[in-house]
Amino acid sequence: MPTFDIAVKLDLSEVQNAVNQAQKELAQRYDFKGTNSTVELTEEGLVLRSNSQSRLDATREVLHGKLVRRKVDLRSLDKQPSQPAGGQSMRQLIKLRDGIAKDEAKDIVKRIKELKMKVQVSIQGDVVRVSGKKRDDLQTVMGELKKMDLPLPLTYTNFRD
């Protein structure tokens, strides 16, 4: 019975490369001189720091540009509100999504069932497994999910016949 998995995968090496490139650009650009703008990758996600909200927004735009060039989907970023970080500085945490949360997985299962296709859908950890008797049904499900414009960067893995 053919199956495939729906997952959200994040390539942390590409994220690290984008952070390094953004850090270099922030150090070299004239409009960022003296603003103490930084981007770093920590265990909780990406941490952006700058001396004002407008510089923080510009820092985030530089980071987004580098992430897009490295083919990291921006939908895998979960921006938190910016906070004052002592003195005149601002701090913002951007969490990285890796894997599908339970409520998001339930939403995907519901949307697949609304298609009225002859496939079975199950949640297995942080992936959603779709199985069916025909390979064409599975490919149709993939196509319909791509059209749905979900807030997650879905990847389709582990396709088996």
pLDDT in tens, 91-125: 999 999 888 888 888 999 998 888 888 888 889 88
29 and 73 together in one domain: yes
Q: How many CB atoms lie within 10 A of CB 60?
A: 21
Structural domain including 64 reads 12-96
Q: Of the residues 53, 74, 96, which one is the last residue of a structural domain?
A: 96
Q: Report whether 26 contacts 39 (CB < 8 A).
A: yes
124 and 74 together in one domain: no
Q: Of the residues 46, 62, 96, which one is the last residue of a structural domain?
A: 96
**Domain total of the chain:** 2
Q: Is the pTM of this model over 0.75?
A: yes
107 and 130 together in one domain: yes
The letter for the amino acid at 160 is R
